């Protein structure tokens, strides 16, 4: 059975979260992390409400931590990477139009995502980094959403 675009995208996003969220892998420069003073559930609630409160639609919530924990034994591992980890996928029509009018290749970065992780009781909210130029508008949007969700 040939994988669908959505299944390939979700596998890629899941792998991307693992790779960018593992500081020991040396790739932390590819993502921005903010600590959250509260529980994982409080963080996901705050992120979801902030995204929706800005008039944006969440297309999908990937429960990546659940998937990693559920499939660990099948992959021959007993390592718990995250206690919990969710990724919120969404887009902004206005921002997307501007960055794609500047360079249609920026479609490669859509949809945008914000992840929430819980590792050993440390809850973090973050996003991947984007290239210089028009995509910095997306990065600023994601930073603003996270800072608002953190109560700042």
Residues 37-93: tens digit of each pLDDT:
999 999 999 999 999 999 999 999 999 999 999 999 999 999 999 999 999 999 999
How far apart CA 141 and CA 40 sit, in angstroms, is 22
Q: Is the per-residue pLDDT at 11 higher than 90?
A: no
- Residue 7: count of CB within 10 angstroms of its CB: 11
Of the CA atoms within 13 Å of residue 137, those in its CB half-sphere come to: 16
- Give the rounded percent of residues in the chain with a pLDDT score beyond 90: 80
Residue 111 contacts residue 89 (beta carbons within 8 Å):
yes
CA distances to 49, 104, 135 from 108, in Å:
26, 9, 11
> All domains of the chain, ordered by start, with CATH?
5-149 (3.30.310.70)
Stated pTM of the model: 0.79
Q: What is the CA radius of gyration of the chain?
A: 15
Q: Where are the beta strands (DSSP E) in 75-120?
A: 84-91, 112-119
pLDDT for the residue numbered 69: 95
How far apart CA 89 and CA 107 sit, in angstroms, is 14
Tell me which DSSP letter residue 4 carries: P
Residue 114 contacts residue 47 (beta carbons within 8 Å):
yes
Distance of alpha carbon 115 from the chain centroid? 3
């Amino acid at each position: 059975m040939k994988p669908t675009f959505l299944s390939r995208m979700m596998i890629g996003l899941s792998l991307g979260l693992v790779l960018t969220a593992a500081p020991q892998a040396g790739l932390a420069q590819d993502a921005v992390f903010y600590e959250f003073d509260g529980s994982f559930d409080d963080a996901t609630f705050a992120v979801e409400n902030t995204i929706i409160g800005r008039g944006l639609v969440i297309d999908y919530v990937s429960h990546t931590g659940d998937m990693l924990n559920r499939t660990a034994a099948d992959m021959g591992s007993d390592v718990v990477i995250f206690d919990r980890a969710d990724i919120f996928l969404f887009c902004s029509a206005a921002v997307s139009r501007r960055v794609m009018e500047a360079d249609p290749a920026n479609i490669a970065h859509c949809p945008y995502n914000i992840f929430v992780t819980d590792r050993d009781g440390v809850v973090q909210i973050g996003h991947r980094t984007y290239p210089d130029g028009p995509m910095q508008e997306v990065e600023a949007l994601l930073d603003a959403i996270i800072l608002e969700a953190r109560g700042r």
